[in-house]
Amino acid sequence: MSDIPRLTKQIIDFCEERDWLKYMTPKDLAISLSIEAAEVLEHVQWKSTEEIQHALSNPNGKEAFADELADVFAYLLELAYVTDIDLATALEKKMEKNAIKYTVDGSRGKHTNKY
Distance CA 43, CA 53 (A): 11
Residue 110: pLDDT over 90: no
pLDDT in tens, 25-74: 999 999 999 999 999 999 999 999 999 999 999 999 999 999 999 999 99
pTM of the model: 0.88
Residue 114: pLDDT over 90: no
Distance CA 78, CA 59 (A): 28
Domain total of the chain: 1
Range of the domain at 40: 3-85
Distance CA 62, CA 16 (A): 30
Distance CA 51, CA 30 (A): 30
Domain at 44, CATH number: 1.10.287.1080
What stretches of 23-115 show up as alpha helix (H) in DSSP? 26-42, 49-57, 59-82, 87-101, 104-107
Structure confidence at residue 6 as a pLDDT band (50, 70, 90): very high
